[in-house]
Structure 1
Amino acid sequence: MPDLPGLHAGDPARRIPPASVARLTIYLRALNSLIADGTERVSSEELADAAGVNSPILRKDLSHLGSYGTRGVGYDAQFLTRQISSALGLTLDWRVAIIGVGNLGRALAGYPGFVSRGFGIVALVDADQLVVDTEVGYLRVSAVDELEAVLERTRTNIAVLCVPTSVAQEMCDRLVDAGISSILSFAPVVLQVPDHVQVRKVDMSTELQILAYHAQRAQEPDLGPISRAQ
């Protein structure tokens, strides 16, 4: 999977490192929660605590956006939210097509958090004739044979793949050929794409395996390195 590219903020020459981009999404979620609770200004320590990072890292991350904080006063929460949203591209029009309308695809299509964060679900596509032409929410499911036409008609610029491993690469290739350069894949397979295409993979089984490892470690007695090696 290609690395998440840095983002530009303000000055076109300024580029935000990938690790900072990932943390900006966490800061934005924390800010939205604080604002919902009535917070108007927030210190770097308060925001770092809400986001689960240390304040020096947070200040360094926010420095990529410019200096918006005031010493002793903190950050204007609403303004900082707008700045992070702009840097992440969330003020643009993101039109999402979900490819594969099984249980996962339907759940994603019905998730209200996408719209509130600037992502509109504009198309649903599936290969199952029993699913095609049914409705999920306000959208009709289109046939996979119509994929390219649907993407063009809806002006889709992000695609979500919820398809079996056996067809994931084929569907990915069709998306790329249709001009889609941002793909979120739930298929447990590494997709091959050109350098200009960004693929983010969500592998829930891998995440569960990592959790299982940590849960196992937490339950083991601390036997020390020598005992563990025996």
Structure 2
Amino acid sequence: MATGRNHRPATRSRGIPEATVARLPLYLRALTALSERSVPTVSSEELASAAGVNSAKLRKDFSYLGSYGTRGVGYDVEYLVYQISRELGLTQDWPVVIVGIGNLGAALANYGGFASRGFRVAALIDADPALSGRQVAGIEVRHVDELESIIDTNGVSIGVITTPGGAAQQVCDRLVAAGVTSILNFAPTVLSVPDGVDVRKVDLSIELQILAFHEQRKAAEALAQEVPEPLAAEAAPAGSGRDQGPDGDIPAVMPA
């Protein structure tokens, strides 16, 4: 079986837009669920709804793959699963190292979805000598001093960083120097990497803050509906409709 170090996905060379690439895993997840229920075909409308996109966007995305479906029948579920998996590089074996085996790192190590999606956790690495030799998810934790040799031996091209923020850049630098070209970063910091290295940032606190914003806005809208209209107009905040310029923009200088 081929390893990730020797075979890279062909999406960029084929000109598939990054926005489309970002949606392919959503389609694959929906298609996999259909496959598990032995559904043979699916319409663009049904698949788009399951993936959370509109059907026109889905059809445009699939056109980049050369898949157009059959009028009146839809898309062949099994073929699309294979086609998208191949495009994402999931028909290969991608060895991954996880650096930082705290609560989050251990949780990722125990996640059962990696193997079924083409990823193999090749090693768990931590700087704490007390963790060395311990078993997490059936894998022995190795000391960070072995990082470079582990990457070389296993042909690793994908690294996952779950360390504290202060240690993340140093770990990133070592991963890149050892040959890792893709990094999934859970550390609460922005990493600096050279050209040719891809970084995906996962920050749970930012996602929660965005949800908090939406919750606050929904609460404000609900309150506005409860307030009588004349009172709501008097209490309208700066930037509401009555303070806007002729084009709907907020004036640079508010009237006295």
Q: Report if TM-score (shorter chain) is over 0.5.
A: yes
Residue of structure 2 equivalent to 1:132: 132
Is the 1:40–1:78 Cα contact (8 Å) retained in structure 2?
yes
Residue of structure 2 equivalent to 1:3: none
Corresponding letter in the other structure for 1:22: A
The root-mean-square deviation of aligned C-alpha atoms, in Å, is 1.7
Deviation at residue 137 of structure 1 after TM alignment: 2.2
Matches within 5 A, 1:61-140: 61-140=61-140
Deviation at residue 93 of structure 1 after TM alignment: 1.4
Matches within 5 A, 1:188-227: 188-220=188-220, 221-222=223-224, 227=236
Residue of structure 2 equivalent to 1:4: none
Kindly indicate whether residue 231 of structure 2 is the aligned counterpart of residue 229 of structure 1.
Answer: no
CA distance in 2: counterparts of 1:8 and 1:118, whole angstroms: 16
Deviation at residue 224 of structure 1 after TM alignment: 7.2
Kindly indicate whether residue 24 of structure 2 is the aligned counterpart of residue 15 of structure 1.
Answer: no
Where relative contact order (Cα < 8 A, 6+ residues apart) is larger, the structure is 1
More deviation in 33-42 or 193-202?
Answer: 33-42
Is the 1:8–1:16 Cα contact (8 Å) retained in structure 2?
no
CA distance in 2: counterparts of 1:165 and 1:45, whole angstroms: 43
Deviations 1:175-228 (A, max 9, x none): 000000000010111111011000101011100100000011111134579813
Identity among equivalent positions (%) equals: 55
More deviation in 152-161 or 170-179?
Answer: 152-161
Deviation at residue 152 of structure 1 after TM alignment: 1.2
Is the 1:184–1:199 Cα contact (8 Å) retained in structure 2?
yes
Deviation at residue 13 of structure 1 after TM alignment: 5.3
CA distance in 1: counterparts of 2:198 and 2:70, whole angstroms: 36
Deviation at residue 18 of structure 1 after TM alignment: 0.6
CA distance in 2: counterparts of 1:128 and 1:42, whole angstroms: 50
Is the 2:59–2:68 Cα contact (8 Å) retained in structure 1?
no
Quickly say closer, same or farther: Cα 1:176–1:37, change in 2 above 3 A.
same
Deviation at residue 38 of structure 1 after TM alignment: 2.2
1:218 partner SS:
helix
Is the 1:95–1:122 Cα contact (8 Å) retained in structure 2?
yes
CA distance in 1: counterparts of 2:13 and 2:234, whole angstroms: 49
After TM superposition, which residue ranges in structure 1, 4 or more long, deviate above 6 angstroms?
Answer: none
Deviation at residue 8 of structure 1 after TM alignment: 3.4
Ranges in structure 2 where 5+ consecutive residues have no aligned partner = 1-8, 225-231, 240-256
CA distance in 1: counterparts of 2:130 and 2:108, whole angstroms: 19
Ranges in structure 1 where 5+ consecutive residues have no aligned partner = 1-6
CA distance in 1: counterparts of 2:83 and 2:233, whole angstroms: 48
Corresponding letter in the other structure for 1:134: R
CA distance in 1: counterparts of 2:33 and 2:212, whole angstroms: 30
CA distance in 1: counterparts of 2:186 and 2:218, whole angstroms: 29
Kindly indicate whether residue 40 of structure 2 is the aligned counterpart of residue 31 of structure 1.
Answer: no
CA distance in 2: counterparts of 1:141 and 1:33, whole angstroms: 33
Deviation at residue 125 of structure 1 after TM alignment: 0.4
Structure (1/2) with the larger strand percentage: 1
